[in-house]
A and B are shown apart, each in its own frame.
Chain A
Amino acid sequence: DQQVKQNSPSLSVQEGRISILNCDYTNSMFDYFLWYKKYPAEGPTFLISISSIKDKNEDGRFTVFLNKSAKHLSLHIVPSQPGDSAVYFCAAAPSGTYKYIFGTGTRLKVLA
């Protein structure tokens, strides 16, 4: 049973446009969410996080939105750049633990 789902395995976007990566979860006990970026042959790199008490968190070009009622979060990248091409993972953890469950990832390709 996959508790964190990223239903789009890949996404292509033109440089300068918005990239929207989606993530759904099933466990209502999840209360902290992270997004990671991963390049080949490297470990995941932390991008941005959000706790369940918020519905939006912004850091530069990256914004994460959380819709608790829909159990859905999304990562917006504006404007997209070729260097953003990577695999993006969302992860979620229940309250009071660091037991993160990761999604399967979405491969983003930003076209120059």
Chain B
Amino acid sequence: DAGVIQSPRHEVTEMGQEVTLRCKPISGHDYLFWYRQTMMRGLELLIYFNNNVPIDDSGMPEDRFSAKMPNASFSTLKIQPSEPRDSAVYFCASSWGYEQYFGPGTRLTVT
């Protein structure tokens, strides 16, 4: 298996633009997680899905953030409009149990 796939790996955008991050989980995994890593706050859970259904989105910082999982093999995290404080590394992870497998991350820079 190729592992968790995230795209793009790097994204640079201007403040106010819409940003969409993509994730393909490991086949057979029924949980999908979105995390954000910053120097100030470390690695924090934004939202997670089970069988494509959002279970807990209490970590989503604002209404500007939204996540979807239209099917078992694809998820998106959208930021609209983006702000400089959204600059971070965003990780997607998937699992079928407690042990999560992370993707390589998307480094987002909002100028």
Binding site for B on A (CB under 8 A): 32, 34, 36, 41-46, 49, 89, 93, 97-105
Contact = CB atoms under 8 A, between A and B. Distances in A.
B99 A46 contact: yes
10 contacts: A32-B98, A34-B98, A43-B104, A49-B98, A98-B33, A98-B95, A99-B48, A99-B56, A100-B100, A102-B44
Given A93-B98, A98-B95, A43 B45 contact: no
Interface of B: 4, 31, 33, 42-45, 48, 55-56, 91, 93, 95, 98-105
A102 B99 contact: no
For the residues of B in contact with A, the DSSP-based class is strand
B42 A105 contact: yes
Given A97-B56, A99-B48, A102-B44, A46 B100 contact: yes
Nearest to A48: B99
A104 B38 CA distance: 10
Contact of B102 (A43, A49, A99, A103): A43
